[in-house]
Structure 1
Amino acid sequence: MTLNLEYEAEIELNLDYRSIITKVVEKALDLEECPYEVELNVILTDNEEIREINQTYRTIDAPTDVLSFPMIGYETPGDFDGLEEAQEDYFNPETGELLLGDIIISVEKVIEQAKEYGHTRERELAFLTAHSMMHLFGYDHMEENERIIMEEKQKKVLDELTIFR
Structure 2
Amino acid sequence: MSLQLAWSNEQTEYDIKDSLITLLEQALQKAGEMEGVIDGEVALTFVDDEQIHELNRDYRGIDRPTDVLSFAMNDTVDEELEIIYELEEGEEIEGIPEVLGDIIISIPRAKLQSEEYGHSLEREIGFLFVHGFLHLLGYDHQEKEAEDEMMGKQEAVLVKVGLTR
Which of 1 and 2 has greater Rg?
A: 2
Once the two structures are TM-superposed, the CA of residue 90 in structure 1 deviates from its matched residue by 9.5
Structure 2 residue runs of 5 or longer lacking an equivalent are 82-91
Q: For residues 90 and 127 of structure 1, what CA distance do their matches in structure 2 show?
A: 32
Once the two structures are TM-superposed, the CA of residue 20 in structure 1 deviates from its matched residue by 2.4
Q: Scaled by the length of structure 1, what TM-score is found?
A: 0.83
Q: Scaled by the length of structure 2, what TM-score is found?
A: 0.83
Aligned-residue sequence identity (percent) comes to 36
- Does structure 2 retain, via aligned residues, the 8 Å contact 1:65–1:128? yes
User: Cα RMSD (Å) of the superposition?
Assistant: 2.3
Q: For residues 95 and 87 of structure 1, what CA distance do their matches in structure 2 show?
A: 15
Identify which of 25, 28, 52 aligns with 1:25: 28
Q: For residues 90 and 148 of structure 1, what CA distance do their matches in structure 2 show?
A: 36
Q: For residues 156 and 72 of structure 1, what CA distance do their matches in structure 2 show?
A: 27
Q: For residues 98 and 54 of structure 1, what CA distance do their matches in structure 2 show?
A: 25
Q: For residues 21 and 72 of structure 1, what CA distance do their matches in structure 2 show?
A: 23
Distance 1:90 1:112, change over 3 A: farther
Partner in structure 1 of residue 128 of structure 2: 128
Q: For residues 6 and 48 of structure 1, what CA distance do their matches in structure 2 show?
A: 17
Matching of residues 1-165 of structure 1 within 5 Å: 1-13=3-15, 15=17, 16-35=19-38, 37-72=39-74, 88-89=78-79, 93=93, 95-165=95-165
- Does structure 2 retain, via aligned residues, the 8 Å contact 1:65–1:106? yes
Q: For residues 159 and 7 of structure 1, what CA distance do their matches in structure 2 show?
A: 26
